[in-house]
Structure 1
């Protein structure tokens, strides 16, 4: 099975000021966000990724470029509109502190599967398109490069949380229990029988072990031996 690294974009000027940027054009990484993206690129540098697919929004393409730039051989990169941010409709561009007073806010928190943003899309529709895109790209990567291939998808917080919820077999109503911080890396392998979630929301530790990981379609009864190559100094991923 192939493995996808789900990377959220680094922090933006909107994130820093508490605005819901949504699909607003021209929202770029701030100084900290650029540093975060470079750090993530360094974490992934030891993994020869076969491709990078990004949301078309600027903050994601900037993060994707930081990842591509750290690869020894630049992998092909592309954008996919199905990985773009949720269409928050009339909520877009507003302060989160103001949105928290809206009648819809409690439903976003506790029953997101029923949420349709005014003038925008539903969270269920957002999950359906993003999960379908990830699975489509993953199948194409495995068909071309084999089951050990690793690729990167750069997207947004709610998108990544919804993809992880699907991989974990969680109802969308539970996806707010997950986190996807700026420039974080989550790791999922899709197999014939089930997805396997290796890590979620990591922001430290190099990932070169992925280049040597043995991917089986079966779960290891008892938990298995992990990914260590025998060196106790190998950084571990905390999920």
Structure 2
């Protein structure tokens, strides 16, 4: 059971401006985001990374740059981790989009939401979940790997791992430069962390060898990581 770290890109200029960047080219990290990206080096310093995969968008590349430089690793671009194609909504202010009739569908019934000229959220979940599960199966059981992607994409993957219907995925919060952790097994995923922005990385480490073969959940509460 490899361990997957889902990293949302650090804060971008579009995040700060309240704009739906989507797949727009040339969206850089803002000053806060650059600081968050630099901080990843220390936050993940105790975590051995076997592989790094990333969305093709620039803000993800910028987020990973300090970490990859320090580790002398290269990221593999995976198109299925790309941001939602928001179609005609791309580049618009979120404050304007809340007035659109589709906004209510996105909030209340996202599995039915298809962005005009873009893709549907159900399609997003299908492609992203397929990508992370395929990659995870190729890696050794003791591997820890990282996938850098976007808020809605990560929320869709987490909803699948939690056994949540996509229609309630808006209950999840995934902030810029947060990490969420999923460990897949033969029978079920285990979600170890969601929206973690702190420095404690103990939960990101691979399990002890004697634990790796088990797909059973703990009954009665775990003993913790220490």
- TM-score of Structure 1 vs Structure 2, range by shorter chain: over 0.9
- What displacement does 1:212 show? 5.5
The match for 1:198 is 192
CA distance in structure 2 between the aligned counterparts of 1:4 and 1:66, rounded to whole angstroms: 20
Deviations 1:208-235 (A, max 9, x none): 553353344221111221111xxxxxxx
State the secondary structure of the residue aligned to 1:221: coil
* Structure 2 residue 85 is matched with structure 1 residue 77: no
Equivalent residue pairs, number: 222
Runs ≥4 residues deviating over 6 A: none
The match for 2:148 is 154
CA distance in structure 2 between the aligned counterparts of 1:212 and 1:106, rounded to whole angstroms: 40
Tell me, yes or no, if the aligned pair for 1:40 and 1:203 is still in contact at 8 Å. Answer: no
The match for 1:105 is 103
Deviations 1:133-180 (A, max 9, x none): 011111111xxxx21210000000000000000000000000000011
Tell me, yes or no, if the aligned pair for 2:13 and 2:28 is still in contact at 8 Å. Answer: yes
Tell me, yes or no, if the aligned pair for 2:144 and 2:206 is still in contact at 8 Å. Answer: no
- What displacement does 1:41 show? 2.9
CA distance in structure 2 between the aligned counterparts of 1:129 and 1:187, rounded to whole angstroms: 19
- Long gaps (5+) in structure 2: none
Tell me, yes or no, if the aligned pair for 1:161 and 1:175 is still in contact at 8 Å. Answer: yes
The match for 2:38 is 38
Query: How large is the Cα RMSD of the aligned pairs?
Result: 1.3
Counting only pairs closer than 5 Å after superposition, residues 1-239 of structure 1 correspond to structure 2 as 1-71=1-71, 74-141=72-139, 146-208=140-202, 210-211=204-205, 213-214=207-208, 215=212, 216-228=214-226
Deviations 1:102-141 (A, max 9, x none): 0100110000000010000000001100110011111111
CA distance in structure 2 between the aligned counterparts of 1:131 and 1:209, rounded to whole angstroms: 22
Tell me, yes or no, if the aligned pair for 2:202 and 2:225 is still in contact at 8 Å. Answer: no
Tell me, yes or no, if the aligned pair for 1:45 and 1:208 is still in contact at 8 Å. Answer: no
CA distance in structure 1 between the aligned counterparts of 2:91 and 2:203, rounded to whole angstroms: 40
State the secondary structure of the residue aligned to 2:194: strand
CA distance in structure 2 between the aligned counterparts of 1:82 and 1:209, rounded to whole angstroms: 26
State the secondary structure of the residue aligned to 1:63: helix
Deviations 1:49-72 (A, max 9, x none): 00110000000011122222343x
- What displacement does 1:182 show? 0.2
TM-score normalised by the chain length of structure 1: 0.89
State the secondary structure of the residue aligned to 1:222: coil
CA distance in structure 2 between the aligned counterparts of 1:207 and 1:7, rounded to whole angstroms: 13
CA distance in structure 1 between the aligned counterparts of 2:165 and 2:172, rounded to whole angstroms: 12
CA distance in structure 2 between the aligned counterparts of 1:14 and 1:40, rounded to whole angstroms: 21
State the secondary structure of the residue aligned to 2:186: coil
